[in-house]
């Protein structure tokens, strides 16, 4: 596009100019040539005309001359003395008279012939010769008064005029001769504006130009040579004198005795053509000027035509390059203007569509936040700067539940509210909040290291935890937030996103009293090398029997009897020694390995149960279940098979489930719990007080026991608030028909307090730490219930 349209428009412009100018040049040249030819023809005709006129003038002058001479001769012819002399036949007297008379009128030649044209007398030898030359001619003709001829005498032309002499009848002729010379020719030159020269030739030979009697012109020899060379076969010819062209016309004067005389009339061609040349030049100048004006005009016109096209093609280029911002503004007329308008309409359409596409492509329509694509792009751009940054990924807890119970429209509005909270959540200007989809949000914190990101995450979580009221429903919102930091956890956008997500899932599966914020680490990453090897090791742990069952006694407070034990797992690692459960349970939950672990635990507990039974010890075993176990639809069936084999009875097992494990997917948890309950298993809610379970929900669960979280129990002796929480929890549990177990009893005063508050069971380091299963029977033998008196200060709280 770029390299076709614009040069094309430019070419178009030049083609228009070339066409116009080319046509004009052809027309101008044709008319110029035609005019030029006409002018030449005209010039030639003019020259011919002038030469003809010159000849006429010559003849007129000759005629006028002849008349003058004739008049003078007539006087002589009428002179009595002369006639008497003629009559007397006195030749000498006649010759005298001729001499006198001739001299008077300036004749060079004078002679008298008798009636039979015989020469009687002549003035000079010239006269003799002339008379002899003329006698032949005059003999045959009837002599007339105006008889005038030019005869060549001694290579010179003479005008001879003959008049009759009568007495009274014709007795002879008087003839007078004058040289045709410079005076006559000068007259011709002056009147006709021509150059002249005299020429003679003898009997068909080449013409010879005679030098004038006075000074010969400089180019005389040149003329003589050319005329001699020409031979003058025709009346008109051209000669070149001193570089100038002359048209020449031969005006014959006459002949005598085989010699011809003529006047050469010469007209300068250049002089004659000069006015035409001037005309031609003017014409040429006008043509040139016209051409120049026309060329400028056609360039202007072509510009007018092509400029809008160029502007259009520039617009098209911009549109092609995806720049829809600049309007198509083209100053044009007619079709081009219409085209420009169509272009503009097209541009606006494209621009709108592009904006719409951008909006759909980069913005979340529900919340108005940037979407995943935009977030990803921004992350890429930020990473390119090489500066540190953190990514938070945030997933709402129990959102599916809200959607199911309160409807999708409600869920949508909730998401919008949450988006608004996140946006106004005290984030910096350059921080970017996006909705990735569903109830998942992400925040990019440019410049933030892991610690700053953890602070921000905690702040956001606190912000979200403020209850939200929508349509009279008050919703407790909480979220798990995962963090991945650049460069610590990766330098690629995808890696950071995946790791932040992993951290988020880990945060959500944390025990509920944790913060709900988790920073990525290799340990939580089931795809990291460390985790892969950990998983392999865990599998090996089961196969190679490295897991250990530890038991922690549960005491009935009223009697002080050991009624059961909580089963807790330990990992006897061949290299790392005894590993506490918190170091691998979350990982096992994430990878799903927890199911195998739970299976191992149940298996192990039922074996120990049977062994203790054989010794006459009747204990209930409390086993911990995780979210994954609850979501495992095969769990009830697995239990069923266990009980079918005998050994352990359902009533002997208690399953401890945390609040958060239930609240992740309450409906499914409820189903599983109901099946387990139906089988006769006891169910206990663990870590009570740290989660967000609503009473309404608790009421629907088929529970037997409520375990107060050890954080409250451990603090109740020193912290009045904890004490109150414990007290009201015990009341609440009893009101719901549940037994209460307090875990984390570390001192006798706590024991006394709990007893006074009618707590049903207790568990803690005071009575017994978790111990290897094989030690339990021995421990039982030494067992004495704690004896403690409640301090009086607690009396008001009982």
Q: Contact residues for ligand C2E (CB under 6 A)? A: 552, 568-569, 580-582, 585, 601, 624-626, 656, 686-687, 710, 743-746, 763-765, 770
- Report the partner that residue 568 touches, choosing among Ca ion, ligand C2E, none (CB closer than 5 to 8 A by kind): ligand C2E
72 or 767: CB nearest Ca ion? 767
> Among 382, 316, 321, 314, which residue's Cα sits nearest to residue 354?
321
669 Cβ neighbours under 8 A, 6+ residues apart: 630, 631, 657, 661, 662, 663
- Which run of H or of E encompasses 776? helix 773-782
Which option in ligand C2E, Ca ion, none does residue 659 bind, with CB closer than 5 to 8 A by kind? none
- Nearest residue (CB) to ligand C2E, 251 versus 742: 742
Least distance in Å: CB of 564 to Ca ion? 12
> What is the smallest separation between the CB atom of 443 and Ca ion, expressed in angstroms?
32
Instruction: Give residues in contact with Ca ion (CB under 5 A).
Output: 624, 656, 686-687
Nearer to ligand C2E, 297 or 581 (CB): 581
| Residue 22 binding: pick among Ca ion, ligand C2E, none (C-beta 5-8 Å cut-off by kind) | none
Interacting partner of 108 out of Ca ion, ligand C2E, none (Cβ under 5 to 8 A depending on kind): none
Q: What three-state secondary structure class fits 369? A: coil
Residue 690 is classified by DSSP as S
By a kind-dependent CB cut-off of 5 to 8 A, residue 770 interacts, out of Ca ion, ligand C2E, none, with ligand C2E
In the numeric block, which tokens belong to residue 186? Answer: 């000068």
State which residue, 431 or 687, has the beta carbon closest to Ca ion.
687
Shortest reach from residue 400's CB to Ca ion, in Å: 26
**Residue whose CB is less far from ligand C2E, 482 or 770:** 770
Q: Which does 746 bind (CB under 5 to 8 A by kind): ligand C2E, Ca ion, none?
A: ligand C2E
Based on CB atoms, which residue is closest to ligand C2E, 127 or 770?
Answer: 770
Looking at the Cβ atoms of 20 and 765, the one nearer to ligand C2E is: 765
Provide the minimum distance between the beta carbon of 685 and Ca ion in the complex, in angstroms, as a whole number: 10
Q: How many CA atoms lie within 13 A of 246 on its CB side?
A: 23
Q: Which of Ca ion, ligand C2E, none is residue 763 near (CB under 5 to 8 Å by kind)?
A: ligand C2E
Phi/psi of residue 584, each to 5°?
Answer: -135, -15
Instruction: Give the torsion through C-alpha atoms of 492, 498, 499, 503, to 10 deg.
Output: 150
CB of 553 to ligand C2E, least distance (A): 10
How far apart are alpha carbons 108 and 410 in whole angstroms?
149
H-run or E-run covering 166: strand 156-166
Cis peptide bond prior to 487, omega within 30° of 0:
yes
Give the Cα separation of 773 and 552 in Å (integer): 9
Shortest distance, position 432 Cβ to ligand C2E, whole Å: 37
**Angle subtended by helix axes 2-78 and 182-192, to nearest 10:** 140
- For residue 719, the tally of other CB atoms under 10 A from its CB is 13
Nearer to Ca ion, 249 or 628 (CB): 628
Specify the DSSP element, H or E, that contains 157.
Answer: strand 156-166
d(CA 568, CA 547): 10
- Shortest distance, CB of residue 743 to ligand C2E, whole angstroms? 5
Residues 607-635: b if buried by 16+ CB within 10 A, e if exposed: ebbeebeeeeeebbbbbbbbbbbbbbeeb
Nearer to ligand C2E, 650 or 715 (CB): 715
- Closest separation between CB of residue 567 and Ca ion, Å? 9
Residue 569 binds which of Ca ion, ligand C2E, none (CB < 5-8 A, kind-dependent) = ligand C2E
Binding partner of residue 601 among Ca ion, ligand C2E, none, CB under 5 to 8 Å per kind?
Answer: ligand C2E
Q: At its nearest, how many Å lie between ligand C2E and the CB of residue 623?
A: 7
């Amino acid at each position: 596009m770029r390299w076709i349209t614009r040069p094309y428009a430019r070419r178009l412009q030049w083609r228009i100019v070339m066409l116009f100018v080319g046509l004009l040049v052809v027309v101008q040249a044709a008319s110029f040539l035609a005019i030029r030819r006409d002018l030449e023809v005209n010039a030639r005709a003019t020259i011919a005309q002038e030469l003809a006129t010159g000849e006429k003038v010559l003849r007129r002058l000759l005629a006028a001359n002849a008349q003058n001479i004739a008049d003078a001769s007539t006087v002589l012819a009428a002179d009595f003395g002369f006639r008497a002399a003629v009559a007397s036949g006195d030749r000498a007297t006649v010759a005298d008279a001729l001499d006198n008379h001739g001299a008077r009128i300036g004749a060079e030649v004078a002679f008298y012939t008798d009636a039979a044209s015989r020469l009687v007398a002549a003035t000079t030898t010239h006269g003799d010769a002339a008379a002899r030359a003329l006698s032949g001619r005059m003999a045959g003709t009837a002599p007339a008064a105006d008889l005038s001829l030019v005869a060549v005498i001694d290579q010179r032309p003479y005008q001879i005029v003959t008049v009759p002499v009568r007495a009274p009848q014709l007795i002879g002729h008087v003839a007078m001769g004058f040289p045709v010379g410079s005076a006559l020719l000068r007259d011709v030159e002056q009147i006709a504006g021509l150059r002249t020269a005299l020429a003679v030739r003898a009997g068909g030979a080449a013409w010879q130009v005679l030098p004038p009697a006075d000074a010969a012109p400089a180019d005389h020899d040149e003329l003589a040579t050319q005329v001699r060379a020409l031979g003058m076969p025709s009346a008109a010819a051209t000669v070149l004198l001193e570089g100038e062209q002359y048209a020449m016309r031969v005006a014959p004067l006459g002949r005598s005795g085989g010699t011809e005389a003529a006047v050469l009339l010469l007209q300068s061609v250049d002089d004659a053509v000069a006015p035409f040349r001037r005309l031609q030049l003017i014409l040429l100048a006008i043509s040139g000027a016209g051409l120049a004006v026309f060329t400028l005009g056609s360039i202007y016109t072509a510009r007018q035509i092509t400029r809008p096209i160029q502007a259009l093609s520039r617009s098209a280029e911009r549109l092609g390059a995806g720049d829809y911002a600049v309007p198509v503004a083209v100053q044009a007329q007619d079709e081009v203007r219409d085209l420009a308008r169509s272009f503009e309409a097209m541009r606006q359409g494209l621009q709108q569509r592009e904006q719409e596409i951008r909006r759909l492509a980069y913005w979340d329509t529900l919340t108005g936040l940037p979407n995943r694509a935009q977030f990803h792009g921004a992350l890429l751009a930020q990473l390119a700067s090489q500066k540190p940054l953190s990514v938070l990924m945030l997933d709402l807890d129990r959102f599916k539940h809200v959607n199911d119970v309160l409807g999708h429209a409600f869920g949508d509005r909730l998401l919008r509210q949450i988006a608004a909270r996140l946006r106004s959540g005290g984030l910096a200007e350059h921080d970017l909040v996006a909705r990735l989809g569903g109830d998942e949000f992400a925040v990019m914190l440019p410049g933030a290291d892991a610690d700053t990101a953890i602070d921000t995450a905690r702040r956001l979580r606190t912000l979200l935890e403020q209850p939200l009221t929508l349509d009279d429903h008050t919703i407790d919102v909480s979220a798990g937030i995962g963090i991945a930091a650049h460069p610590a956890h990766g330098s690629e956008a995808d890696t950071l996103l995946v790791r932040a997500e992993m951290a988020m899932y880990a945060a959500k599966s944390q025990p509920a009293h944790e913060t709900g914020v988790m920073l990525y680490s290799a340990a939580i990453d089931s795809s990291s090398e460390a985790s892969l090897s950990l998983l392999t090791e865990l599998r090996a742990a089961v196969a190679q029997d490295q897991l250990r069952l530890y038991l922690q006694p549960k005491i009935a407070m009223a009697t002080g009897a050991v009624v059961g034990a909580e089963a807790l797992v330990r990992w006897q690692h061949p290299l790392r020694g005894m590993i506490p459960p918190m170091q691998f349970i979350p990982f096992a939950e994430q990878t799903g390995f927890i199911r195998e672990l739970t299976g191992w635990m149940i298996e192990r507990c039922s074996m120990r149960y049977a062994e203790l039974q054989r010794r006459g010890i009747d204990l209930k075993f409390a086993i911990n279940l995780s979210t994954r176990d609850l979501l495992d639809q095969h769990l009830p069936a697995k239990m069923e098979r266990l009980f079918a084999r005998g050994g352990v009875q359902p009533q002997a097992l208690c399953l401890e489930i945390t609040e958060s494990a239930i609240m992740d997917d309450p409906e499914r948890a409820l189903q599983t719990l109901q099946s387990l309950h139906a089988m006769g298993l006891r169910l206990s809610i663990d870590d009570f007080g740290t989660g967000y379970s609503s009473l309404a929900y608790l009421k629907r669960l088929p529970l037997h026991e409520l375990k107060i979280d050890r954080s409250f129990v451990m603090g109740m002796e020193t912290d009045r608030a904890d004490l109150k929480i414990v007290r009201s929890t015990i009341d609440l549990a009893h009101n719901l028909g549940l037994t209460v177990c307090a875990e984390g009893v570390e001192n006798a005063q706590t024991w006394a307090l709990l007893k006074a508050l009618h707590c049903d069971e207790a568990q803690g380091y005071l009575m017994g730490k978790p111990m290897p299963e094989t030690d339990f029977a021995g421990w039982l033998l030494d067992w004495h219930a704690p004896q403690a008196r409640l301090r009086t200060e607690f009396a008001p709280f009982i």
